[in-house]
Amino acid sequence: MSLSDIIDPFSRAETPPPQTLGRFIGWALRGAWPVLIPAALLSATGGAFEVLTAKLLGDVIDRTLDSSASTVFAEHWPFLLFCAVFFIVIRPVIAGLSAFVQSVVMQPNVFNLILSRVHRYTLGHSVTFFDNDFAGRISQKEMQTARALNDVISEVVQAILFALASVVGSILLVGSIDWRIGIVLVAWVVAYGFLLRFFMPRIRTRSKARAAARAMVTGQLVDTVTNIKTVKLFAHDEFEDRAALDAMSTYRDRFIAFGHVSSAFRLCLMALAGTLPVLLIGGALLFWSQGFVTAGDIAATGAVAIRLSQMTGWVSFTLMGIFANIGEIEDGIRTITPAHTLLDTPGAEPLSVTEGRIEFREVGFAYGREGGGGIEHIALDIRPGEKVGVVGASGAGKSTMVALLLRLYDAEQGGIYIDGQNISEVTQESLRRQIGMVTQETAMFNRSALDNIRYGRPDASMEEVIAAAEKAEAHEFILTLRDHMGREGYEAHLGERGVKLSGGQRQRIALARAILKNAPILVLDEATSALDSEVEASIQEALERVMEGKTVLAIAHRLSTLSEMDRIIVLDRGHIAEAGTHEALLAKRGLYARYWDRQSGGFVNAEDDAGEAAE
């Protein structure tokens, strides 16, 4: 194992992330401390060596003054040789080793360790979490939190511990020269600490506000770009520009507020830093004139004063960056770490599907609202291998039933059972692995056609992928694909959300994905809605083959696609209004028959309806 592999950058966190800063940092960095601690010691050693250089300079001057020009090398060659070895070998080796640990062992691995843990936790949030925010903003928060925390740790190890070792060493050095100079340096360090204590919390607060505003700009821009076709179709370039400018204006205001406090900090800092050489060198000269210190002591004190004065600006801006990053971390914690609202129950077992029986037992769900919406008192028993269609007006509860079956939400009343197992008591992953799904709004990744189909079963062979594509009537058009990078056929990328495909092509890819998954339960949510009649007819044959031996729940507005179902359920305002076969429901002359008449283009039954009403 190489040194770069000491930290496992993708190790899993065993617990959810805490919502307080210190505990969150501990959670994110667990497993990295065996590298962070040696890295900190190397950095502190480098800081101590900076003070040692000043001490060596003073000793060289004193020994030179105590000797004649002709005897200085003969009398002091061991010391001078040590100085040469120190500057040419020891100091560079420590600096190089510290830089190697920082840039090769620590930073790349710590960043990925934090990001992988934050991203895994984010993926575990319920659909509602993502529905309530911008996709771009959430991804921005993940990257922002990982980058900011990685920068904080790197700067603390590389700069702050280096500086602390330098300050402590400097106090010891000048204190050994004259205790009064040491007290002056201590007093200056205390004043510097008060300056930091005043400004850093203000920088942290304003950085947090700036980070939140920046994330909103990202979210707004991503939202616009994601929906660019809608923007173009409605000719709303100017409208979207104004929305973006509003977000940018807020970000600009937050940036200016941050700039005010940072510039005031810089002014006070430079003024304080300028006093240090005056105090230390002036004090050393005073005590030299009184015979208390040597010329070498003046040189050592001067080197320390100038070094600390220069370091003051560097360290302070590093601290400003650290506190700014802490503000960004806290902003990310607030967004990403809320508790998961949809969890596996303790001791949840994987779902075992032996038959594929689905039962809705008095299920109710209203999205947490009162006064309607969702579904109520749904009692439905779908037998193993039965094909059930679900119809109803928009808002009747069709998609809600599917979402509850997939446990994207938990039922508020009643329960859903598969082969006698309450789906709220099995693992979510095992539940969704047993259900194949083709939706109305087909989800595509900006990956190859092969990857999009293989998403149904990542270990599928190329032959199996092609067979699934052929069953879905997708193979022929896939062979004609070519992307902007020159990739062709199954290797061609489909663009974000599959924008390079027609609606029908996207749904055929999605159908191929479901075919490849080969789950015992199949859910079709408007699976052929984007297809023309000719393609729909060919795919309908494929669907019939795919549905063989599976329990099927199919939602459709186009009732002709459901006429061959074993049973059809008609939803109305969240309730089951009618149930039966296609022929039985037509004969009933109820809600389903009215839907059928409208889609058949016939008002041919209007007189019959009127006659029945008169009777």
How is the chain split into domains, by residue range? 11-336, 358-434+519-614
Q: pTM for the full model?
A: 0.69
For 371-419, what is each residue's pLDDT tens digit? 566 899 999 999 999 999 999 888 888 888 998 999 988 999 999 999 9
Token output for 491: 């290797």
| Local confidence band at 606 (pLDDT 50, 70, 90 cut-offs) | very low
pLDDT at 318 > cutoff 80: yes
Give me the pLDDT at residue 201, please. 84
For range 569-598, the mean pLDDT: 91
Q: Bridge partners of 174?
A: none
Q: Say how far apart CA 308 and CA 167 lie, in whole Å.
A: 8
Given this model, what pLDDT does residue 604 score? 37
Question: Is residue 435 within 8 Å of residue 525, measured between CB atoms?
Answer: no
- pLDDT of 263 higher than 70: yes
pLDDT of residue 394: 81
Average pLDDT of the residues of the chain: 84
d(CA 440, CA 528): 8
The CATH class, in words, for 358-434+519-614 is: alpha beta
Handedness of CA 496, 501, 507, 511 (dihedral sign): negative
d(CA 613, CA 615): 5
Rounded Cα distance, 219 and 527, in Å: 31
CATH fold of 11-336 reads ABC transporter transmembrane region fold (1.20.1560)
Give the relative orientation of helices 72-85 and 33-66 as an angle to the nearest 10 degrees: 170
555 DSSP assignment: E
Let me know the angle formed at the C-alpha of 491 by 489 and 492, rounded to the nearest 5 degrees. 70
Alpha-carbon distance 440 to 507, whole Å?
8
In DSSP notation, 449-513 reads: HHHHHHTT-TT--HHHHHHHHHHTT-HHHHHT-B-TTS-BGGGSB--GGGTTS-HHHHHHHHHHH
Q: Are 495 and 446 in contact (CB under 8 A)?
A: yes
- Determine which of 5-9, 68-72, 192-196, 216-220 has the lowest per-residue pLDDT on average: 68-72
pLDDT band of 608, cuts 50, 70, 90:
very low
Q: Greater confidence, 243 or 369? A: 243
Report the distance separating Cα 444 and Cα 474, nearest Å: 14
For the chain, how far is it from start to end, CA to CA, in angstroms?
Answer: 88
Going by pLDDT thresholds of 50, 70 and 90, the confidence category of residue 614 is very low
Per-residue pLDDT reduced to its tens digit, 137-148:
788 789 989 999
pLDDT the model gives residue 372 = 60
Residue 327 dihedral angles phi and psi, to the nearest 5° = -60, -40
Q: Which of 44-58, 306-320, 388-402, 420-434 has the lowest mean pLDDT?
A: 306-320
pLDDT-based confidence at 230, cuts 50/70/90?
A: confident
